[in-house]
A = this chain, B = another copy of it.
């Protein structure tokens, strides 16, 4: 972020409001600026911590996820990345004397599973698709569908493109986009920056206008942590840690409930070639088995670093049995695109190659995209950028 405005507490507000009554009103003079994306796309981090003995920064950029800051004058610690960072949306935290914390002068944060991170953008490439541009913006809605399978109203996030609001009767294709373990219906909108990506690709004419449906994939939970009637008692955790939740086949089997809700409540093209399904990690697992069990539903299938390690999976469950037979059936029913992407540093790389081998054995068409790095949002955002441009054309 190239800071163009100084952030100063003005006398007006202090005069207007008694200090004692507004201790949590959130303005303050930032004594340091952090992070600063420099002209060469190196990034400088600073924190005022005069009493600290060690300060580290940990971020999700490559090669140097942990680096020590150096103390300068007035107790302000500083670190600049030795190399420019590639264009991306990054997350980071500080560790001050072994206590993990956000950057106190950066108000931009994202939660990823159970941790909250400070964020920044580096522009000039993919990152420019993750930013807001002055283009028409679609709607983002949190809504609820009723699941008969579990007897509950369950939350989902729905993106509709700007042109949808013309209310001209036009119908749209739908991408069902599934989150990973530990995620929920807020993961793709918040960390995948779906609305920005779709708005920007559409404004450039690179994608067909489409609706993106982001349901909650934790079938025993109605919504994200904090948005269920457990409120703060439901701590964010990996999905396999949620009792009764993981790999039981219920979510994949009940998936048509989601499609029915969407097709009833939105102006949607309701044919196979107007439906795509894709998911990251656990969502890739859900994508595979949902499309195998409903081979007539989806013309486009996308696996993003899919959680295809089948160790421990109950292969006797109808949702998961007879993978090869179901692949054969999918081939027979036909599809437009079966797209598999994985980072070559991802522990799931081989499991995804193994699926491709199964498809090779049946002469099934698919595309395999190998990228660098591992099980990270930078890859998933990039996969969405690429995959969405292949849909509905």
What's the Cα separation between A272 and B191 when bound, in Å?
A: 41
Q: Contacts A98-B50, A99-B101 given: A141-B144 contact, CB under 8 Å?
A: no
Residues of B within 8 A of A137 (CB): 144, 153, 155
A333 interface hit (Cβ, 8 Å): no
Q: Is A265 an interface residue (CB 8 A)?
A: yes
- Do the beta carbons of A182 and B25 come within 8 Å of each other? yes
Residues of B within 8 A of A232 (CB): 1, 108, 119-121
CA distance A117 to B133 in the complex (A): 28
Chain A: how many interface residues by the 8 Å CB criterion?
Answer: 106
Is A345 an interface residue, CB under 8 A from the partner? yes
Interface string of A89-104 (1 = CB under 8 A from B): 0010000111111101
Hey, which chain B residues are within 8 Å of A50, CB to CB? Answer: 98
A1-28 vs B: 1/0 string, CB under 8 Å? Answer: 1111101101011001110111111111
Q: Is A113 positioned at the interface, with any CB of B under 8 Å from its CB?
A: yes
Asked if A309 is at the interface (CB within 8 A of a chain B CB), the reply is yes
Q: Is A233 an interface residue (CB 8 A)?
A: yes
Residues in B with CB closer than 8 Å to A240 are 10, 12-13
Task: Pick the residue among B24, B375, B376 that contacts A60 (CB under 8 A).
Answer: B24
Chain B residues whose C-beta falls within 8 Å of the C-beta of A70 in the assembled complex: none
Within 8 A of B (CB), among A45-64: 47-53, 58-60
Whole-angstrom distance between the Cβ of A239 and the nearest chain B Cβ: 9
Q: Which of B4, B27, B59, B195 contacts A238 (CB 8 A)?
A: B27
**Interface of chain A residues 227 through 285 with chain B (CB within 8 A):** 227-229, 231-238, 240-241, 265
Neighbour of A375 across the interface among B21, B117, B133, B343, CB < 8 A: B21
Given the interface pairs A26-B236, A348-B17, the reply to whether A102 lies near B102 with Cβ below 8 Å is yes
Question: Which chain B residue lies CB-closest to A144?
Answer: B137
Q: DSSP majority for the A interface?
A: loop
Residue of B nearest to A136 (CB): B153
Chain B residues with Cβ below 8 Å from A153 are 136-137
A204 interface residue, CB < 8 Å from B? no
A173 at the B interface (CB under 8 A): no
Docked-complex contact B5 and A376, CB < 8 angstroms: no
A:121-137 near B, CB below 8 Å: 121, 131-134, 136-137
The reply on A334 being an interface residue by CB < 8 A is no
* B112 contacts A25, C-beta separation under 8 Å: yes
Q: Most chain-B Cβ atoms within 10 A of its Cβ — which of A5, A120, A140, A236?
A: A5
- Given A101-B102, A115-B107, A238-B27: A181 in contact with B13 (beta carbons within 8 A): yes
Instruction: Please name all residues of chain B whose beta carbon is closer than 8 Å to the beta carbon of A2 when the two chains form the complex.
Output: 233
A21 touches B112 (CB 8 A): no
> Given A155-B137, A165-B265, are A27 and B114 neighbors across the interface (CB < 8 Å)?
yes
Least CB separation from A95: chain B residue: B104
Most chain B CB within 10 A, of A49, A60, A226, A307, is at A226
Cβ distance A249 to chain B, nearest Cβ, rounded Å: 18
Please, which residues of chain B bring their CB within 8 A of the CB of A238? 10, 12-13, 27
- Smallest distance from the beta carbon of A165 to chain B beta carbons, Å? 7
Partner of A116, one of B107, B155, B377: B107
22 sample A-B contacts, Cβ–Cβ < 8 Å, listed by A number: A1-B232, A7-B235, A13-B240, A16-B309, A16-B347, A17-B348, A20-B345, A20-B374, A24-B59, A24-B117, A25-B375, A26-B112, A26-B115, A26-B236, A27-B114, A49-B99, A107-B236, A120-B232, A132-B231, A133-B229, A137-B153, A139-B143
